[in-house]
Amino acid sequence: MTTARLPKAEKTFLSEVLLALEETEEQRDIRLQKLFGFFDSSRKGYLDHRDVELGFKALSIPCQYKYVNDLLEVCDSNSDGRVDFSEFCRYMDNKELELYSIFKEIDVRHNGSIQPDELRSALLHSGDFHYLFFKKLYNIVV
Ligand SMILES: [Ca+2]
């Protein structure tokens, strides 16, 4: 097994994500409220298994029973079987930070965009990269 040659991960802050998305905190709050509302179509104020399953179906994202359960388990930080808006926001904060961290690792020129050569280099540079990349992506999804 070769040693990963990824740049050392730097701490990512939500303010960087907002800057990259050209989004204010207020705009982000509205975006998250809309997304939560999309899943919470019956306006209960929380998400359960059926909400997530129906939401994925509406987005044409195939999902399996286990996948929905895994996602709910990760989001439901107080383990009461429901995902309320604050838990949903915490989950989204973490996932957006993780995604942006991966973006920063690939964007070695730090110019806010990933060029084909940066992506190629990231994919080819290290034997461990594929494993790390897909492991991170998997952890973001689940
Ligand atoms: Ca909960």
Residue 100, Cβ density class (10 Å: 0-12 exposed, 13-18 middle, ≥19 buried):
buried
**Consecutive 10-residue averages of pLDDT for the chain (142 residues):** 50 88 94 95 93 88 74 89 94 90 88 84 67 62 53
41 Cα to the center of ligand 1, angstroms = 18
DSSP string, 39-101: H-TT--SEE-HHHHHHHHHHTT----HHHHHHHHHHH-TT-SS-EEHHHHHHHHHHHHHHHHH
Which amino acid would we find at residue 135? K
d(Cα 99, Cα 136) in Å, to the nearest integer? 8
Residue 135: its pLDDT value, please?
A: 62
Instruction: For the chain, give every domain's residue range.
Output: 14-141
39 Cα to the center of ligand 1, angstroms = 15
What is the pTM (predicted TM-score) of this model? 0.73
Instruction: Specify the fold of 14-141.
Output: Recoverin; domain 1 (1.10.238)
61 Cα to the center of ligand 1, angstroms = 24
121 Cα to the center of ligand 1, angstroms = 41
38 Cα to the center of ligand 1, angstroms = 18
115 Cα to the center of ligand 1, angstroms = 40
